[in-house]
Amino acid sequence: MLFFLVFLGIPLAVYLMFVVSPFAQSFYYSLTDWSGLSPSMEFIGAANYARIAGDAVFWMSLRNNLALLIVLPLVTIVLAYALAVMVTIGGSTRGGVRGVRGAGFYRIISFFPYAIPAVITGILFNFIYHPGGGLLNGFLNLLLGPVNLVLSLLGAQPVPAISTAWLGDPRVALAAVGFAIVWTFVGFYMVLFVAGIKSIPQEVLEAARIDGAGRLRSAVQIVAPMVRDNISTALVYMGIFALDAFTFVSVMTPNGGTANSTKVVSLHLYQTAFRDGRFGEASAMGVIMAVVTMLVAVLVILLGRSRREER
């Protein structure tokens, strides 16, 4: 009895106190008009949810979150898996199965962006995307040099210098933020996939090579099914982050970008609570996003389980 109390009761109590209880409190606050500072609050039922249903900014923010949800996990995990394959089984076909030359160096370099705090990364990309002296525009203008030289020799008009405000243009701002996120997380998930690939018996990979399977075929038809659990885990965590993305968006575009082009629900929630003093409405947004996040996680897990049962 003491064993169950210590090893099951205490963790369960901690979970109820720090996970279930705050969520229940948030749900209750979402049914009130609490301002966040007032000691009293009035129960208003589903009025906050009705107000959110008519909030165009919320739906714009949710659309941005869903766009990130579709793009970020796909791009990040594909790139991370490709890098993991390169440093584990992408080496010479002679001898044993191994990664490319200098695989250890590539692992360190790829993981380095994840070791940088997200705030620092956001500030760094703010300088990169700066329309005046930013690195990206400077690099593109450097490439335009030879092009304009050829055009001048042909008597044509030169291409004007590029001065795009990458974070100020609604057409590309969200993609610019997404690129910074991908750059940050690729190395982390690469390490996760490397660990999964290293757990595959070498005999399996060597047998596939003997049977004539190339690197691409081995990566897609042999390695990928054997690290499916790692991929499912990465999809869940990257999907959850895509439904948040608060740090990067708040640092790179503090007001949510031009015409709310980069605003996400977490930033809108923060502004509603701490700028506008509507904690009840902000709690309702939090409840909605918690439900959406759980649905996404359950969907990914069920899809992974159904594919495993089919095999």
Q: What are φ and ψ of residue 246, in 5° steps?
A: -65, -45
209 and 139 within one domain: no
Question: What does the pLDDT average to over 154-181?
Answer: 88
Residue 38's pLDDT is 82
> Which of 49 and 103 is assigned the larger pLDDT?
49
Q: Give the separation between CA 60 and CA 84, rounded to whole angstroms.
A: 36
Quote the mean pLDDT of the chain: 87
Range of the domain at 81: 16-129+171-310
In this prediction the pTM is 0.88
* Residue with tokens 């370099």, as numbered in its chain: 109
With H, G, I as helix, E, B as strand and everything else as coil, classify residue 197. Answer: helix
Q: What are φ and ψ of residue 43, in 5° steps?
A: -75, 120
- Give the count of alpha carbons within 13 A of 292, CB side only: 19
136 and 260 within one domain: no
Residue 41: how many CB atoms within 10 A of its CB? 16
Asked if residue 72 belongs to a domain, the reply is yes
43 and 185 within one domain: yes
Confidence check: pLDDT of 31 > 80: yes
Domain boundary among 148, 164, 180: 164
Residue 93's pLDDT is 64
* Residue with tokens 């609604």, as numbered in its chain: 170
Domain boundary among 164, 188, 208: 164
Tally the domains of the chain. 2
Question: What does the pLDDT average to over 245-261?
Answer: 92
pLDDT digits (tens, 9 = 90+) for 133-166: 889 998 888 888 888 788 777 777 887 878 889 9
Asked if residue 35 belongs to a domain, the reply is yes
Asked if residue 11 belongs to a domain, the reply is no
- Closest by alpha carbon to 73, among 248, 237, 199, 299? 237
Domain boundary among 139, 164, 189: 164
Residue 95's pLDDT is 57
| DSSP tag of 158 | P
Q: Give the separation between CA 254 and CA 274, rounded to whole angstroms.
A: 14
150 and 50 within one domain: no
Question: What does the pLDDT average to over 171-191?
Answer: 94
120 and 181 within one domain: yes
pLDDT digits (tens, 9 = 90+) for 113-139: 999 999 999 999 999 999 888 899 988
Query: Could you tell me which residues come within 8 angstroms of residue 226 by beta carbon, excluding any fewer than 6 positions away?
Result: 196, 200, 204
250 and 148 within one domain: no
Question: What does the pLDDT average to over 92-104?
Answer: 72
Q: Give the separation between CA 200 and CA 207, rounded to whole angstroms.
A: 12
Residue 246's pLDDT is 93
Query: Could you tell me which residues come within 8 angstroms of residue 96 by beta carbon, excluding any fewer than 6 positions away?
Result: 202, 206
